[in-house]
């Protein structure tokens, strides 16, 4: 789940900054907040901008967040096997060889991220390498290679761009309506500059939660596709064994900001916010 949560967290931070910038642009240039076409254009520019900035930063941020060390020259037989396995799977999937990294964690997990199919990173935890069999690790790697081959990060960036646009547009449209409704006949009253900005931020946070549910839904669907791709690159038996091993393993200890990038997710309070389907459903889908 690491890939998605990190992307969402980065996108949220960037969106807050861009929201402030957009509000300043309206104030400094005295733009008409009631101009729906103009607002929609600005919302799309900033919405997709935030999403693709997050995508461009994804590899760098993933390395910094997890402490992942890219394998440039293998130090032992295990690292050599890791590079060879991903190279073989990448060739079979028709993508450029990703960067390969290992990050320190007792948690059994792995993730793939990057701006494109040919500019990606696949990282595995030390816990996964220590606790899984070679066949199970091979299936996990194939799952991550499938994410890259399917272009899942770009797809989710586009989806996030659409929902970002909705969040920015709807928040400012509603804030404008509240401002107009609270003015008297002489145009006095209404929301002041700071009050207007605070209402916009509050609405963006509310709509952002709803938007995250939409992105999480699409993320869950991509997981089934990645599992299917991994079964083709290895075998259904190996992929099922890897998922069953994850299901038997301890609860993921991965930080919430990285959870959506990995193969091993955990259930949230609401199933609507889960970026991964339950492992039981994924196992059943392979049968």
Question: Which residues belong to the active site?
Answer: 144
Identify the residue whose tokens are 């890939």: 3
- Residue 45 tokens read as 């520019």
* Nearest CA-CA partner of 163 in 2, 3, 7, 276: 7
Q: Contact 282/264 with Cβ under 8 angstroms?
A: no
Say if residue 220 is exposed, middle or buried (CB neighbours under 10 Å; 0-12, 13-18, 19+).
Answer: buried
Q: Mind giving me the DSSP string for 217-259?
A: HHHHHHHHHHHHHHHHHS-HHHHHHHHHHHHHSPPP---TTTT
- Residue 129 tokens read as 């390498």
Say if residue 66 is exposed, middle or buried (CB neighbours under 10 Å; 0-12, 13-18, 19+).
Answer: buried
């Amino acid at each position: 789940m690491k890939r998605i949560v990190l992307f969402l967290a980065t996108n949220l931070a960037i969106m807050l900054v861009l929201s402030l910038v957009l509000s300043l642009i309206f104030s400094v240039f005295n733009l008409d907040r009631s101009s729906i076409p103009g607002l929609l254009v600005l919302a799309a520019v900033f919405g997709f901008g935030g999403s693709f900035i997050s995508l461009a930063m994804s590899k760098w941020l993933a390395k910094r967040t997890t402490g992942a060390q890219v394998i440039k020259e293998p130090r032992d037989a295990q690292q050599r096997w890791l590079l060879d396995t991903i190279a073989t799977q990448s060739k079979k999937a028709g993508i450029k060889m990703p960067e390969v990294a290992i990050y320190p964690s007792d948690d059994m997990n792995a993730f793939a991220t990057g701006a494109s199919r040919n500019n990606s990173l696949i990282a595995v935890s030390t816990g996964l390498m220590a606790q899984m069999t070679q066949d199970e690790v091979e299936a996990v790697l194939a799952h991550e290679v499938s994410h890259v081959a399917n272009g899942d990060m770009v797809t989710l960036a586009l989806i996030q761009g659409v929902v970002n646009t909705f969040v920015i547009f709807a928040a400012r449209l509603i804030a404008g309506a509240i401002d107009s409704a609270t003015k008297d006949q002489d145009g006095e009253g209404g929301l002041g500059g700071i009050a207007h900005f605070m209402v916009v931020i509050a609405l963006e946070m509310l709509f952002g939660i709803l938007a995250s549910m939409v992105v999480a839904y699409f993320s869950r669907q991509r997981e089934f596709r990645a599992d299917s791709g991994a079964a083709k690159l290895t075998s259904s038996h190996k992929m099922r064994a890897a998922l069953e091993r994850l299901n038997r393993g301890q609860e993921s200890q991965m930080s919430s900001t990285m959870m959506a990038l990995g193969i091993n997710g955990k259930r949230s309070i609401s199933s609507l916010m889960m970026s991964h389907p339950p492992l039981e459903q994924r196992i059943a889908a392979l049968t």
